[in-house]
Structure 1
Amino acid sequence: MDTFLLTLSKDLNKILKNELCYDFLITIGEEPDIKTFKVHSAILCARCPYFQVALSNNWIKKENDKFTFTKPNIFPKTFNVILIHLYGGIIDLNEQESSDLILLLEASDELCLSELCEHIQDFIITKRLVWLRENFLSLAKIVYQHLTFDRLQKIFTEMIYENPKDLFKLETLSELPEDIILFLISRDDFFIREVQIWEQIIKWGILKYPHLDPDITYWTIKDFETLKNRLRKSIPLIRFYQMSSKEFKEKVVPFKKILPGKL
């Protein structure tokens, strides 16, 4: 069977570029970066699960024979790249800045484009691994927030396993998932003083509750209970016996209300 996929791709992108016979107006982004795209419901319905569900369930209203929809949480530049992919089946990730790749990945996840999500992740891992390592702090929260970013999560977890000691220096420690935190504090092979681990765990717990006063002398019993519940899995993993009496008195005793009764 003869195929003419390249010609088909070019012709469909011409329809997108020239805004021919469109029936769908999609407003993307927020002021001052906002743009309305003139697209085709049939193509989006066929190519994108998100729009297929939206159109079939009447999430999208129709006015004057045109569907209208607003999507403020995607950047116009990012959506334009996705549209070219949806119409023509092409995407050149080499042209994208590394930071734009993450935006593209998040948008692909938002629009349920699983194949594109996998492709972008594979590209980042093979072509931008150095950038990933250099920007671990800023990317960790994003990567672990999305279940579909499984490839990147695997790489990030491997990085954590390789350099667990460095992770306790992170200002963004509170943004990591609890299972990663529990893994770290359960280890005994990277020679961090136990009092430092305790300090970071307390910090991690407090940062999860920004309403807590930084000065614990103003805390209520409820505040201590809040922190205790947050740290119920991590506290049993702390090796209090490895702390000096001075360290225990200065760093642990102020939080004695969150400790098990036997300590």
Structure 2
Amino acid sequence: MMEIKLPNILPEIFQMILRYIYCGKLSLKECDTLDIVKILIAASELSPHELIPHLQFFLIENKVDWMIQNFSLIYKPSFENESFLELRKFCIKLISKEPEKIFDSPDFTSISEKSLISIIQNDNVQMSIVQIWEYALKWGIAQIPNFH
């Protein structure tokens, strides 16, 4: 008997990928959007790489509103994993054309410092420097525990 440890992959996500590997089917319409993101990340670790473009296009074509509201869950992995190029393009386009959607999203203050810096440094962001500073301050204040 062999034991495989995959600490970053939940058993139910692993089961979905195994079903895909053995049956060639993955019903995304029935999946929770967060689970689709988890499947995408797990696929990059487990190697069914043909699944990665399919998942990215499904998210971009069907889950835009969710991705905007949960931008930090998409933005960070899209820049950490070279195979998530389509998600990265989506994020860059959204940041450039509609930055207020990111800055006004409910999870804006939970993005990492590195992510915030890369957003701010994007020369194509269509927003005034004053607005960018206001959002940067909002983010900074949110990082201070018990600050009122």
Provide closer, same or farther for how the CA distance between residues 189 and 117 of structure 1 changes in structure 2, counting only shifts above 3 A. closer
Per-residue CA distance 1:176-198 (angstroms, 9 max, x = gap): 17554322xx458522328927x
Gaps of 5+ in 1: 1-65, 208-263
Q: Which residue of the partner structure matches residue 192 of structure 1?
A: 129
TM-score by length of 2: 0.74
Residue number in structure 2 paired with 1:117: 52
Matched, 1:134 2:69: yes
Tell me the amino acid that sits aligned with residue 56 of structure 2. Q
Comparing both chains, which one has the higher relative contact order based on Cα–Cα distances under 8 Å and sequence gaps of 6 or more?
2
CA distance in 1, matches of 2:13, 2:52: 13
Task: State the identity as a percent.
Answer: 26
Output aligned runs, 1:61-210, within 5 Å: 66-164=1-99, 167=102, 170-171=108-109, 172=111, 174-176=113-115, 179-183=118-122, 186=123, 190-193=127-130, 196=133
Q: Which has the higher helix share?
A: 2
Q: Normalising by structure 1, report the TM-score.
A: 0.44
Aligned-CA RMSD value: 2.8
Question: Contact 2:99–2:125 (CA<8 Å) still a contact in 1?
Answer: no
Give the distance between the partners of 1:90 and 1:102, measured in 2 at CA. Answer: 17
Alpha-carbon separation, structure 1, partners of 2:29 and 2:18: 17
**In structure 2, how many angstroms separate the alpha carbons of the residues matched to 1:121 and 1:162?**
20
Q: Structure 1 CA distance, aligned partners of 2:126 and 2:30?
A: 42
Are 1:74 and 1:107, in contact at CA under 8 Å, matched by a contact in 2? yes
Identify the structure with the greater strand proportion: 1
Distance 1:105 1:86 in 2: 14
Could you tell me which runs of 5 or more consecutive residues in structure 2 were left unpaired when the two chains were aligned: 144-148
Quote the Cα distance in structure 2 between the aligned partners of 1:168 and 1:130.
14
In the comparison of the two structures, how many residue pairs are matched?
A: 135
1:15-68 Cα deviation digits (max 9, x unpaired): xxxxxxxxxxxxxxxxxxxxxxxxxxxxxxxxxxxxxxxxxxxxxxxxxxx333
Instruction: Report the structure number with the largest CA radius of gyration.
Output: 1
What is the CA distance between 1:166 and its match in structure 2?
A: 5.7
Q: Quick check: 2:52–2:84 contact (8 Å CA) kept in 1?
A: yes
